[in-house]
Amino acid sequence: MMKISEIDWKWKSGLSVRPKTNYIVLHHAAAIACSPYQIDSWHKANGWSGIGYHYFVRKDGSIYRGRPEWATGAHASGKNHESIGVCAEGNYDVEYIMPDSQKDAIKELLRYLKLKYPNTTVKGHKHVGTTGCPGKYYPLSEMMEFYRNVIANESEELNVTQYEELKKEINTLKSRVGYFNYIDDNMNEAYKPTIEKLVSAGILQGNEKGELMLTTDMMRILTILDRAGVF
C-alpha cells in the first residue's frame, strides 16, 4: 500500500493555485544521494518559495510530498501552471539502473495520480523543456508505457490510502478557497448526478451570486468518492 510522507514545509512566500492539470512531469534530482530537505534548500537558494516538485521519491521507495497538489509547482518552466512534478532521487545521467524499490514506488504514484487526473499525459522534463532531465538512463519509456497502457486497463477501485488522500484533498481545498472556481454551465454531464446530490444535501454551496463553482479535478474527485459511498 502506498504511503506518502508529509513534511511541514516552511514556504518563503505564498503558493498559487494551479488552474489545470494536463501533465505529470518526471524528473531526476541530478544528485546520486539527496533528501527532500536538501531539494527544498536548493530550490530556496534559487529564489523560489521552496521545493518545486509535488512529489519526491527516494531510492528506497519512500515517497514524500513536496508542494501541495493544488499548488503551482516550480519544476518545468512554461508548464508549471498545468503540471504535477515527480522527482526521483539519483543522477540518471551517470547511474545506469534505477532500484526496483524506487521504480515500483514511482509506478504506484503514477497509478494514484491517474485515478485523480485521468486525462493527463506523462512527460519527461526534456519533453517540455530544454534539458536532459530526467537523465538518459532514467526508465522513462517504461514509465510512459506503464501510464499509457497498463493503468488504462485497470479499474478505478479505491484502496484505503487513495480514499483518505482524496478526502484530505477536498478538505484542504475547501478550507483554502471556501468555494471552487468553475462555472456550472461548463460542468461535465458525468459529474452532474453527484454535484446535484451534494447541493441538495447542503454539502456544496454557491457563491454570493448563487453560482456553484468547481474545478474539473474537484468534480472528478467528488464523483469518485460518491461512487465509493462517502456521501
Between 160 and 199, name the one with better pLDDT. Answer: 199
Which residue stretches of the chain are H helix? 36-45, 100-116, 125-128, 140-145, 160-177, 192-200, 216-227
Residue 59 CB: number of other CB atoms within 10 A?
17
**13-54 confidence digits (pLDDT tens):** 999 989 889 999 999 999 999 999 999 999 999 999 999 999
Choosing among 3.40.80.10, 3.90.1280.10, 3.40.1160.10, 3.30.9.10, the CATH entry for 4-153 is 3.40.80.10
Mean pLDDT of the chain: 83
Domain residue ranges of the chain, discontinuous segments joined by +: 4-153, 160-227
The fraction of the chain above a pLDDT of 70, given in percent, is 74
Angle at 74 between CA 14 and CA 217, to 5 degrees: 80
Q: How far apart are CA 96 and CA 204, in angstroms?
A: 50
Quickly tell me which residue has 472528478 as its cell.
220
